[in-house]
Every structure is written in structure tokens, then in C-alpha cells.
Amino acid sequence: MISYLEGSVVRVAPTSLVLSVQGVGFSVAVAPAVSAAARVGSSMALHTKLVVKEDDLSLYGFADEGDLGTFGLLTSVSGVGPKSAMAVLATLGTDGLAQAVSAGDEAAFKPVPGIGPKTARLIIVQLSGKVIVQSSAPASGSSDMVEALVGLGWQEAKATQTVETLVRDQPELAGDSSALLRAALQSLGARR
């Protein structure tokens, strides 16, 4: 129903934010990394999933479509609700979840709040064989870098392209997030 929102950030909390779209404020539950990248007054675009329950309408937001798809897969597992799915994404990320499922690694789910051994087994069994779209970012820290750049006001596509190009052309930047951020800001600043 509501699959995408783009607007101005009005309020930021650790796991949610309020986006003003055409004068209407939408409260959106997000991962801590998305919330950390958001700045009040800046524009932000989120892929969203509206979850309808008997007595509640909740909107969950994601920086990219891969995380949105993974959220949908997780909520299809019996016993995993939207809050647990967000906890898995916030703790493991899409790439970490894909690795845990493909390796059958139940221990990877231990740090996830609300996910015990039984639910971890269910996730692995029910998602094995299903395609988990891994992040389009080339390195594990790159998706956080893209989110940070989006939070600073750049378009997601431009930020993703810049980070991918920098990591491809200068692989030594992949392990140094501060150097990657400096290089990305220099590159993006030169294009403004």
C-alpha cells in the first residue's frame, strides 16, 4: 500500500523517524543504522512496508530494496514478526543473514534480541533455498557508508555509485571507513 516515501526528516529516534511528505508526517520504524544516518531537516527516501494488524498499522522503512525484500522473507517465517525481523536485519544485516542461512549457522543469531535457538533453526530451514538479495554495496561497511552519505543529503543512487567506484578503484579504502568517507565526500563535493 505504501511502498516508498521521500520527504524531509522531522524527528529522529534510535529505531524510528518521522518523515514529512507533502505536509503529512509518517512515523517509520527503521534500523539503527538508518536512524543514525538521518538528520533533522534533511531529505530522505525510504522503501517501506505497511504491516496491518487487527489493532495497529505500522510502517517499516529501509534504505534499499534488498533489505525490504529480506524483511519480507523473514516475516514469512512462522514465529518471526516484523519487530523480530527488524532486529535480525539490525544485528546481522542482509549479507550476514544470507551467510548464516547458507552455512546453517544458528550461533550467528545469538546476539539478535528475541531470537532463540528454535526460531534461529526455523529461519535457517525455511529460508534455505530461497534467494536472499545481498546488498549491492561491494563491502560490508559500504552500505553504512551509503546510508551516512544519504543522511548528509546526497541521493542514494549517487552515493552508492560513488562508494562502489571508490572501493573498486582503490580497494585499500574498503577496510578504512574514515578514509572511504573522506574520499567519497571529496568525490561527491567535486561533482556539486
For residue 9, give the CATH number of its domain: 2.40.50.140
Q: What whole-number percentage of the chain has pLDDT above 70?
A: 92
Whether the CB-CB separation of 158 and 188 falls below 8 Å is answered with yes
User: How confident is the model over 87-115, as a mean pLDDT?
Assistant: 91
Whether the CB-CB separation of 88 and 74 falls below 8 Å is answered with yes
What distance in Å separates the CA atoms of residue 16 and residue 60, rounded to the nearest whole number? Answer: 9
Q: Of 17, 33, 62, at which residue does a domain stop?
A: 62
What distance in Å separates the CA atoms of residue 121 and residue 126, rounded to the nearest whole number? Answer: 8
Predicted TM-score (pTM) of this structure: 0.68
What distance in Å separates the CA atoms of residue 47 and residue 58, rounded to the nearest whole number? Answer: 14
At 192, is the pLDDT very low, low, confident or very high (cuts 50, 70, 90)?
A: low
User: pLDDT tens digits for 133-179?
Assistant: 554 444 446 777 888 888 888 888 788 888 888 887 887 777 677 78
Q: Are residues 83 and 106 in the same domain?
A: yes
Q: Is the dihedral of CA 96, 102, 103, 105 positive or negative?
A: positive
Q: What range does the domain containing 54 cover?
A: 4-62
Cell of 133: 538479495
Q: Are residues 57 and 93 in the same domain?
A: no
Position 136 scores a pLDDT of 45
User: How confident is the model over 77-105, as a mean pLDDT?
Assistant: 91
Question: Is residue 58 situated within a structural domain?
Answer: yes
